[in-house]
Amino acid sequence: LSIAGLEALIEELGLDTPIPDFPQSSPLRSPIDIYRAYLADTASAVLQCDRHLTYEAVQSANIRDNSDLALVLPKLKLKSDKPKELAKECLVKFKPTPLLQLPLPDGVHLRFIFSTSTLPRLILPYIDDRKSEYGHNPSLALGDVSAPNPIPKKVVVEFSSPNLASEFTAAHLRSTILGAQIANLHESMGWDVVRLNYLGDWGKELGLLAVGWGRFGSEEAFQKGPMGHLLEVYEKISELFRPEKEASKRARDERQDTATIETRGIFAERDAFFKRMEEHEPDAVDLWKRIRDVSVGYYSRAYARLDIEFDEFSGESQVSPESIEEVESILREKGVYEESGGSWIIDFSKHGPKSLGVSVLRGRTGSTSYLLRDIAAIFDRDKRYSFDKMIYVVTSEQDVHFSKVFQAVRYMGRGDLADKLEHVGFAKPQGLSPQLGKVHLLGDIIDQSVSAVQATLGAKHDTPFQIGNTEAAANVLGISALVAQDTLHKRANGYSFNTKSLCSLEGESGPSLQASYAKLSAKINESDLDGVQLADIDLEYLQEDPWTEVIRLMAQYPDITHAAYRTHEPSVILAYLFRLIEELASCFDDADEDDEDEGEGEGPGGPEETRGTSLKVPEPPEAILAQAMLYKIARQVVDNGMSILGLTPVIT
Ligand code: ARG
């Protein structure tokens, strides 16, 4: 649908003026913006106030209040002797239009309801034309729109980022799910997206793993199950290392010198190995590379099960020595880099903000820290991608870390770069392991979720849909269960893993969404829609409840994706999908009731007279066809939402 196509459609609805133009309005993105534009235009004319002020005063109303748009009168700064009467005074000035019914007063608001006779005729063709693009807004990320071929802006989304040879934690799982969704949302809004995995593949922990490999590593066990074996080695060496680590912590807490403890034993072995890694000694690098390669292979396969593909497996190891040097030299030049007891530090408390304290960038043995690598990585990525924005999807436990990273970039005089960086934090889910059994790696987590779903399906004799307890179905359902459980909660809220609600076929869960989807598909498939176009449908059959409720909700979808995008909150989309499903279910109920009453209807009377009254007669085939078309277009909306969330329908 182009603007021209849209205007033709508008004309058919009986509107004789083209869509009024407002800079804030995108009628090609959101059909509600069409209503907003006409309303603002009319209101500014009849109330004689500034057009743009009026557009700003038009708000989406809560659909539960039974209205669609609200005009907030105080925002119009109208002069009135009797402010209490203002709404009533304004009210009488409106005439009904093809799009909107007469307004209703509501305190300082005027509420407007979409006219149900034009609603299906505007919204359904609109969505049917947009199809999988409905809810997207590819123009949002266009750089210079006056250029002949505007280039989309680039965003780097960094997410998942597990550490090699250690557990894939609940925080990594949430970063994976949320990060992929945030990346998809940006793509749908026209951004050129780079999906980046910043592996924890460098640092002293890798040195420790190598020390462990020297003691407990077995070629044979590694061949059989490399990931499991590496975890085991890491666990064993960590156990052996624990007393030393605790002693050092005690010394630090008592403000005693830690050097004597940290320069011997496993401490010394670990640091020596890591130093050799940093100096690129072949045997050290070889071992590290084997570990890295096997992990990247493993993770790529696990991510593929979630339909996630990274453009780059970067990692702490990949940060270039040049960028590290550049960062250090600029920080030194700016006078914020100091030597302290053999280490190089930034004292944030001196240069502000105070709360960030003191951090080591280069340790006593000369090795780089997590913080230094993170700062330098920004410069690498800036060179490589020249991004317009970079988003880190990492647990809120690292809030302070990212504040330091961004602050350091500012100290370097690169506020321009720091302004492009954003940390999207989230609360960590609880109880992944006990609930899903003993899970240490992403693949295990998925497997456990799949078996949990399999058990639920097995226990249920009559699943509410024709999915069947097959391996493939359980796989899709298990993944949906995991993804939906995470997405049900806003980022700021943690949650406890609960295999029962995760697998439930009722309420708000992945499998229940899939069940509703399957039911919706069944309804569509059992109708005679084959070869039928929307233009063939008599939309008059969709001009009342419950169909209009579904259509009004469908019209909101682009606003929903927009809100999810702006706030990095994909949960908004899932909540919306459950509402849409609920409305659809009431349509099914309505239709089912009609079925039950079949044959009991009285008298002749055409469908026109009896539809919507308590007098039930079998619905004419045209009505049933119109409903099926509505379901089909609604399914498109559900599809679009699911695809952003990373959910694949189990049945189509
Ligand atoms: N590997 C880190 C961890 O598991 C997460 C990395 C987050 N990203 C970053 N740029 N620091 O805690």
pLDDT digits (tens, 9 = 90+) for 321-375: 999 999 999 999 999 999 998 999 999 999 988 899 999 999 988 889 999 999 9
Cα-to-centroid distance, 361 and ligand 1 (Å): 16
State the pLDDT confidence band at 495, using cuts at 50, 70 and 90.
very high
Parallel, antiparallel, or unpaired: how do β-strands 154-158 and 312-315 relate? unpaired
What one-character-per-residue DSSP string does 342-396 give?
A: TEEEEEHHHHS-GGG-EEEEE-TTSPBPHHHHHHHHHHHHHHHH--SEEEEE--G
* Best residue among 160, 161, 372 to mutate for probing ligand 1, ranked by most atoms within 8 Å of CB: 161
**Cis omega before residue 546 (within 30°)?**
yes
| Percent of the chain at pLDDT exceeding 70 | 94
* Best residue among 299, 369, 398 to mutate for probing ligand 1, ranked by most atoms within 8 Å of CB: 398
3-state secondary structure 440-460: CCHHHHHHHHHHHHHHHHHHC
What is the model's pLDDT at position 1? 63
Q: Inform me whether the pLDDT recorded for 558 exceeds 50.
A: yes
What is the model's pLDDT at position 563? 95
**How far is Cα 119 from Cα 549, in angstroms, rounded to an integer?**
10
3-state secondary structure 570-582: CHHHHHHHHHHHH
Per-residue b or e along 92-131, where b marks 16 or more CB atoms closer than 10 Å to that residue's CB: eebeebbbbbebbbeeebbbbbbbbbbbbbbbbbbbbebe
Cα-to-centroid distance, 161 and ligand 1 (Å): 6
410: exposed, middle or buried (C-beta count within 10 Å: 0-12, 13-18, 19+)? Answer: middle
| Percent of the chain at pLDDT exceeding 90 | 71
Size (the chain), residues: 652
Of residues 203, 195, 220, the one with CA closest to residue 165: 203
Instruction: Work out the angle at residue 29's Cα, subtended by the Cα atoms of residues 24 and 34, and round it to the nearest 5 degrees.
Output: 65
What is the model's pLDDT at position 599? 44
Domain ranges of the chain: 3-115, 153-195+309-428, 442-645
Taking each helix axis from N to C terminus, what angle separates 265-278 and 282-305, rounded to the nearest 10 degrees? 90
- Both tokens assigned to 74: 């105080």
Q: Give nearest CA residue, ligand 1 atom 1.
A: 200
Q: Give nearest CA residue, ligand 1 atom 10.
A: 374
State the pLDDT confidence band at 466, using cuts at 50, 70 and 90.
low
What is the model's pLDDT at position 82? 73
Cα-to-centroid distance, 392 and ligand 1 (Å): 9
Which range has the worst mean pLDDT, 262-266, 308-312, 633-637?
A: 262-266
Q: Inform me whether the pLDDT recorded for 602 exceeds 50.
A: no
**How far is Cα 649 from Cα 644, in angstroms, rounded to an integer?**
12
Give the full edge-to-edge strand order of the sheet including 343-347.
338-340, 343-347, 358-362
**How far is Cα 37 from Cα 17, in angstroms, rounded to an integer?**
11
Fold of the domain built from segment(s) 153-195+309-428: Rossmann fold (3.40.50)
Comparing 65 with 223, which gets the higher pLDDT? 223
Which atom in ligand 1 lies closest to the alpha carbon of residue 402? 11
Q: Inform me whether the pLDDT recorded for 446 exceeds 90.
A: yes
State the pLDDT confidence band at 609, using cuts at 50, 70 and 90.
very low
Does the ipTM exceed 0.90?
Answer: yes
Q: Give nearest CA residue, ligand 1 atom 4.
A: 162
Per-residue b or e along 248-271, where b marks 16 or more CB atoms closer than 10 Å to that residue's CB: beebeeeeeebeebbeeebbebbb
What is the model's pLDDT at position 316? 96
DSSP class of residue 167 equals: -
In single-letter form, the type of residue at position 453 comes to V
Count the Cβ atoms, other than its own, within 10 Å of residue 292: 20
499-517 pLDDT, tens digit each? 888 888 888 999 999 999 9
Cα-to-centroid distance, 394 and ligand 1 (Å): 7
Long-range contacts for 359-366 (Cβ within 8 Å, ≥24 apart)?
359/404, 361/328, 361/331, 361/337, 362/328, 364/259, 365/271, 365/274, 365/275, 366/275, 366/278
DSSP class of residue 95 equals: -
Q: Inform me whether the pLDDT recorded for 594 exceeds 70.
A: no
What is the model's pLDDT at position 311? 98
Cα-to-centroid distance, 162 and ligand 1 (Å): 7
State the pLDDT confidence band at 461, using cuts at 50, 70 and 90.
low
Q: Mean of the per-residue pLDDT values for the chain?
A: 90
Which atom in ligand 1 lies closest to the alpha carbon of residue 374? 10
416-445 pLDDT, tens digit each? 999 999 999 999 999 888 888 888 899 999
Tell me if the domain spanning 442-645 has CATH number 3.40.50.720. Answer: no
Mean pLDDT throughout 607-631? 74
Q: What is the CATH number of domain 3-115?
A: 3.30.1360.70
What is the model's pLDDT at position 258? 85
Mean pLDDT throughout 585-592? 79
What is the model's pLDDT at position 65? 66
Q: Inform me whether the pLDDT recorded for 608 exceeds 80.
A: no
Of residues 162, 287, 148, 145, the one with CA closest to residue 212: 287
Q: Inform me whether the pLDDT recorded for 183 exceeds 80.
A: yes
In single-letter form, the type of residue at position 201 comes to D
State the pLDDT confidence band at 610, using cuts at 50, 70 and 90.
very low
What is the model's pLDDT at position 615? 58
Non-local (6+) Cβ contacts of 97 within 8 A are 15, 38, 42, 115
State the pLDDT confidence band at 605, using cuts at 50, 70 and 90.
very low
Q: Give nearest CA residue, ligand 1 atom 5.
A: 161
State the pLDDT confidence band at 614, using cuts at 50, 70 and 90.
low
- Both tokens assigned to 401: 């870390």
Mean pLDDT throughout 191-206? 95
Which range has the worst mean pLDDT, 132-141, 246-255, 437-446, 610-619?
A: 610-619
CB within 6 Å of ligand 1 — which residues? 158, 161-163, 198, 200, 374, 392, 394
Cα-to-centroid distance, 461 and ligand 1 (Å): 44
Within 13 Å and on the Cβ side, how many CA atoms surround 449? Answer: 30
Q: Inform me whether the pLDDT recorded for 598 exceeds 50.
A: no
What is the model's pLDDT at position 64? 58
Which range has the worst mean pLDDT, 6-15, 306-315, 593-602?
A: 593-602
Of residues 204, 130, 196, the one with CA closest to residue 164: 204
**How far is Cα 475 from Cα 481, in angstroms, rounded to an integer?**
10
Mean pLDDT throughout 605-620? 57
